[in-house]
Structure 1
Amino acid sequence: MDTPVFVKNDPWLQPFEPAIKKRIDHYNNRLEDIKAIFGDLDQMSDGYDFYGLKDLGDKYQLREWAPNATEIFLVGDFNDWKPNEKFRLTKMDFGNWEITISKELLKHGDLFKLHIFWQGGDGMRLPSYINRVVQDEHTKIFSAQVWTRHGEFKWEDQDFKPSVDPILIYEAHVGMSSEEHKVNSFTEFKNDVLPRIAKAGYNTIQLMAIQEHPYYGSFGYHVSNFFAVSSRFGTPEELKDLINEAHKNGIAVIMDIVHSHAVKNEIEGLGRFDGTSYQYFHDGGRGEHPAWDSKCFNYGKNEVLRFLLSNCKYWIQEFHFDGFRFDGITSMLYLHHGLEYSFSSYSDYFNGTEDYDALTYLTLANRLIHRINPNAITIAEDMSGYPGLSDKIENGGIGFDYRLSMGVPDFWIKMIKEHSDENWNVSRIFHELMQHRAAEKVVSYAESHDQALVGDKTIIFRLVDKEMYDKMDLASQSLVIDRGIALHKMIRLATITTSHGGYLNFMGNEFGHPEWIDFPREGNGWSYKHARRQWGLMDHPDLKFKYLANFDRAMVHLAKDGFLSNNEPCYGIAINEADQVMIFKRGNYYMVFNFSPTNSYTDYGIFVDPGKFKVLLNTDNPEFGGFGSIDESYIYYTERMPYNKDQYQLKLYIPARTAMIFERIPAKSVY
């Protein structure tokens, strides 16, 4: 095998070329095995069309994979939830089971389960590929439900193609998107929240908690039923309607997919499905996640690969999702799950702790997803920075389009917690924000849902704390609030202007949503107070939240149409630690930041290309809660340097705690 392209592009990887080639060989060998057994990857991933409950017109067919089972019966209200011969499944080859049932016996809306027997025991289970699961309001027990589509859903997005250069992601949780104390629905999200996202300028929605999960407070990360739309939020058709409407608005929809682990639950999930602990998961300790109290998939088994790859294909083909953000893959990449690991050098990635089966699965998933839809989007949530993760498969990479830049929010929190902004080091800020490999795209963000969970704090809360409760009205004067609003805007602008591929914001954080996220649980009296979004704060004309929303909207629209559109590289122009001034350029755009809380600078000279300049965005604009110190109508002209006629400078007024974006308009300078 030749040296992989992404290794050639990074000389520091050359000592680890044997380990990288071993990973690539593992993938190629597995792909050949799949072709030999199934024909090709596409046929292997048709598992959802073979298993599960299928409508055959006048009857239903149910197929299940349970190799350790000795008997399986379909049970429900139709037979008093007791096994009988009429509802016995027939054993087929390769551990598969099947039953065909008349629609006179099984009807739309019926609840059912599988009663599975094995040597020495038995248990109630939900079919592994089931696409509809509902929870009893009183008993809280989950059951599978017969869900017959009354006519095909009428899609209206045939010509839709994601416009994601750059990708601007609005991370959202449907259930907590209501202002009311309740679980919101897909339809309510479509009617009330989608228009807000469209107005804000984001071109991609990342939906959380779509796959069914028993515990609402898990944020959807303890999945039990991988093919079932969470019924808390509505029906499958209502989810399709939401995605269809987003596409009509020019907005892509990706799913936060969880293939890194599964909930331990047995009745609802895959735990001990056929009486064994190793059907879908690793046996013994390796099958238990030490930090998440969940089960770890065995990606070395063809049946597990088929289940997960089929799951990817199902959500794309049946629901028109435009791709996925793969959750928690650091846990998949390494046998140690990345726990208490610093990843301080390349040797930490290639030291024999890699999980080659998991790496192969992720490569296969990316290959499949982009074959189904060449315009699909895949994003890796990886905190380790595994080399080649978001490089092309043909270059020797894993094939993701983007990696989440998870170190950025951690950096901002550390800066806010450990240093007063009088001591913020702009060299360190610029260095940290620029940490990415040139060939790999990343999605940068200042905070996601992780930073808003109970026990943590959002950026705005860290900046203003208790004054948020009584000083955010227009009539109140507060230096703390002024500081918080100014830094909130600057932190976001610094993050998005240095991003190398895209940007992400969590629902509500764009306007500085107060407090934290805490789902209903016994510890809070099953309250929805913190599991909702207070949109009224942003809409209220007499509150300062509107300033942050106005700024975010202007910033995102400018990113989409301007400084991020060509993903040009950043070049530092003036990174002055003493002044706390950070200035850099991207193409014809110049970003100017003054993090000093006290010092404003007059006639601050910076080296630029000759031409004239205009202000495109200014955090000090009164519409954004600023003081209006900058005349945005003014056109700036470059000057020749007095002692170097080949260089030009621009002289600027840069107020304290202010950031601006200038656009260069090439023209003959006036001196």
Structure 2
Amino acid sequence: MLTDFDAYLMGEGSHERTYEKMGAQLVEIDGKKGVYFSVWAPNARQVFLIGDFNDWNDESHPLASSDSGIWTLFVPELSEYAVYKYRIVSQSGENFEKADPYGFAMEQRPRTASVVADLNRYHWSDGDWISRREEFQALDRPLSIYEVHLGSWRKVPDEKWGSRYLTYRELADELIPYVVEMGYTHLELLPITEYPFDGSWGYQVLGFYAPTSRFGSPEDLMYFIDTCHQHKLGVILDWVPAHFPKDGAGLNFFDGTDLYSHTDSRQGEHQDWGTKIFNYGRNEVRSFLISNALFWIDKYHFDGLRVDAVASMLYLDYSREDGEWLPNKYGGRENLEAISFLRKMNEVVHGVYPGVLTMAEESTSWPMVSRPTYTGGLGFSLKWNMGWMHDTLGYMSKDPIHRKYHQNDMTFGLLYAFNENFILPLSHDEVVHGKGTLLTRMAGDDWQKFANLRAYYGFMWAHPGKKLLFMGGEFGQWQEWNFDTSLEWDSLKAPNHKGLQRLVQDLNGLYKNEPALYENDFEASGFEWIDASDTDNSVLSFIRKAKSSDAFLVIVSNFTPVPWHGYRIGVPQPGEYQEVFNSDSEKYWGSNVGNDGGLTTDQVPMHGYSQSLSLTLPPLATVILKRQ
């Protein structure tokens, strides 16, 4: 099973598939079926296997040590679903009961033992999707992501608990049809790697190789992803290599030493989150994490990894005061080991699985996050545009009477829009911790809040960059997201919420059908301002251009509650222009002000063009026009 060459590669930090050798492997040795256990604990004095198969006997199943620090044991006749832990005795004689770092399944919380699982039994039916994934997920293709916390998307009545989670298979029956009907191209799952504390939302991971048992078995998750692919829906995993919790059964102080993290808290601990930071300079840890990235793509067919908290990995002084951090060997604040790890991870993922996307949640101005490593970049496919999100939400929260003084909040993002491959994220972080919801953050009375949000979504879907919206945002929740309760589905009985939901559905449809909105997201040639300077009227107008044809769209957003009649904008070509989208349409619960479906250009020069359109701009609305 575990060869000297495997141990060498792990020690070198270059083993990319440690999950095929470590943990609990169902094997046959010398004609006997059983489970082969391997665990890395180089500083342990002794390691024992305990579980339901030996009545949790402390000493009946000792593991054999090796020079590589990997302890091994073959247990014949042991089968799938056996529950186990490692009892690790430190050099000082302390005892630690630990879950398997490579365990493929775990007990349901609050229990923390690992469970032997067979990940090779499921028969996949997504060959067509996998073979075409590189085509579906190319950077010049549409990418509209529905971000989901599986535990609170929808709950169902339960006799014992009052309400319960949907299982992976129930989610396949309910969530997937909904997301497909809404026109999204991808689902992004908040972390589903096993975690004991519901309130962490999955960001404090205990089982890095185990899908959470809250929603079912590993095979159930495979079925869910398989079903997504059969509906041409990609699935992205929110992946957390930035830190791990201090839970007793986890990686913390694993063999009586800080095996996976740094001993010095100035480098090894996140003060804000009460978690430990991985030691990215330790080769075995690098192999553990890089293999983990490949594991979810290999065994579960995930189509992308959204890497959480990248900024906290890049900077040694992240959220620290002077004297609370250790500089690198050159005296700087950059975490050189983490940078090296991220580059290597991206190289391996993209090299082994072309077409799989990696996405960085990176909130600073670190350069070249989404540029190839051979040009000095970090190698991510895409980067979340946190600056755009912050600026534009700040603008939309202001009373329209004041917006003319802040129009640069809506335009500033175009100064750097093509420096990275950006995703425009309106994520879960924007609807928690007292921030309110997207709807409540809009200015004005109830009608204006909905109108503002509709106009904002129209602006966002037309703006360069891929799209991400957290669940509930598509129909306008009033209450902040609560991980412990279901979304406010009853609100869809009201026409204002139903109208907003239909608007998002129509935007996704228009987005996927118009190459001008996605082909040139990351090229300046795909965008052109018509007028970014009409601050007095709080109006923005611009053009989006396709790459493979001369098709283009004209977008105009009016961020005041006043309709403008005879508002003239220049356009690049003469002819008839159809109004293909109007966020003020009555079908979206708008006031139905518009341009009667379309209008024709006049030979009136404007904005540097020889012809122009005289528009009726609805109040608090975005309109999109297409030349026929």
Could you tell me the TM-score, scaled by structure 1's length?
Answer: 0.83
Structure 2 residue aligned with 1:628: 592
Q: Say if 1:640 and 1:646, in contact at 8 Å, map to a contact too.
A: no
Give structure 2 stretches of 5+ with no counterpart: 157-162, 323-329, 546-551
Structure 2 residue aligned with 1:377: 357
Q: Say if 1:198 and 1:251, in contact at 8 Å, map to a contact too.
A: yes
Does residue 114 in structure 1 map to residue 86 in structure 2? Answer: yes
Question: 1:291 Cα deviation (Å)?
Answer: 1.0
Counterparts of 2:245 and 2:606 in 1: how far apart (Å)?
69
The alignment partner of 1:515 has SS state of coil
Q: Say if 2:10 and 2:284, in contact at 8 Å, map to a contact too.
A: no
Q: Say if 2:495 and 2:589, in contact at 8 Å, map to a contact too.
A: no
Counterparts of 1:435 and 1:304 in 2: how far apart (Å)?
39
Partner deviation per Cα, 1:6-47 (whole Å, 9 max, x = no partner): xxxxxxxxxxxxxxxxxxxxxxxxxxxx99963999961111
The correspondence for 1:605, drawn from 550, 568, 581, is: 568
Question: 1:450 Cα deviation (Å)?
Answer: 0.6
Structure 1 residue aligned with 2:127: 158
Letter in 1 for 2:84: F
The alignment partner of 1:614 has SS state of strand
Letter in 2 for 1:230: T
The correspondence for 2:52, drawn from 77, 82, 95, is: 77
Letter in 1 for 2:128: D
Question: 1:199 Cα deviation (Å)?
Answer: 0.8
Does residue 570 in structure 1 map to residue 527 in structure 2? Answer: yes
Structure 1 residue aligned with 2:235: 253
Alignment of 1:446-465 (within 5 A): 447-463=426-442
Counterparts of 2:88 and 2:286 in 1: how far apart (Å)?
23
Structure 1 residue aligned with 2:578: 614
Counterparts of 1:644 and 1:168 in 2: how far apart (Å)?
32
Letter in 1 for 2:194: E
Partner deviation per Cα, 1:174-212 (whole Å, 9 max, x = no partner): 111214332222112111111110011111111112111
Change (3 A) 1:653 1:95: same
Q: Say if 2:35 and 2:79, in contact at 8 Å, map to a contact too.
A: no
Alignment of 1:109-508 (within 5 A): 109-120=81-92, 121-135=94-108, 140-148=110-118, 152-160=121-129, 161-162=132-133, 163-164=136-137, 165-180=141-156, 181-267=163-249, 269-277=250-258, 279-285=259-265, 286-337=267-318, 352-417=332-397, 419-425=398-404, 427-445=407-425, 447-463=426-442, 480-500=445-465, 502-508=466-472
Q: Say if 1:391 and 1:439, in contact at 8 Å, map to a contact too.
A: no
Q: Say if 2:570 and 2:607, in contact at 8 Å, map to a contact too.
A: no
Question: 1:632 Cα deviation (Å)?
Answer: 4.1
Letter in 1 for 2:535: E
Does residue 49 in structure 1 map to residue 20 in structure 2? Answer: yes
Letter in 2 for 1:126: A
Counterparts of 2:374 and 2:475 in 1: how far apart (Å)?
42
Partner deviation per Cα, 1:289-348 (whole Å, 9 max, x = no partner): 11111000110010010000010111011000011000001000010125689xxxxxxx
Question: 1:448 Cα deviation (Å)?
Answer: 1.0
Question: 1:631 Cα deviation (Å)?
Answer: 4.2
Counterparts of 2:321 and 2:124 in 1: how far apart (Å)?
47
Counterparts of 1:380 and 1:309 in 2: how far apart (Å)?
15
Letter in 2 for 1:45: E
Counterparts of 1:124 and 1:354 in 2: how far apart (Å)?
35
The alignment covers a number of residue pairs equal to 584
The correspondence for 2:537, drawn from 579, 602, 608, is: 579
Does residue 100 in structure 1 map to residue 80 in structure 2? Answer: no
Structure 1 residue aligned with 2:325: none
Q: RMSD of the TM alignment (CA)? A: 2.5
Counterparts of 1:235 and 1:36 in 2: how far apart (Å)?
30
Counterparts of 2:375 and 2:247 in 1: how far apart (Å)?
40
Counterparts of 1:146 and 1:559 in 2: how far apart (Å)?
45
The alignment partner of 2:57 has SS state of coil
The alignment partner of 1:585 has SS state of strand
Counterparts of 1:645 and 1:75 in 2: how far apart (Å)?
77
The correspondence for 2:510, drawn from 555, 558, 575, is: 558
The alignment partner of 2:512 has SS state of helix
Change (3 A) 1:457 1:39: closer
Change (3 A) 1:369 1:338: farther
The alignment partner of 2:529 has SS state of strand
Question: 1:225 Cα deviation (Å)?
Answer: 1.1
Deviates more, 1:304-313 or 1:575-584: 575-584
Q: Say if 1:622 and 1:628, in contact at 8 Å, map to a contact too.
A: yes
Counterparts of 1:424 and 1:316 in 2: how far apart (Å)?
45
Q: Say if 1:175 and 1:185, in contact at 8 Å, map to a contact too.
A: no
Letter in 2 for 1:574: D
Q: Say if 2:593 and 2:617, in contact at 8 Å, map to a contact too.
A: no
Counterparts of 1:169 and 1:93 in 2: how far apart (Å)?
47
Q: Say if 1:315 and 1:321, in contact at 8 Å, map to a contact too.
A: yes
Structure 2 residue aligned with 1:3: none
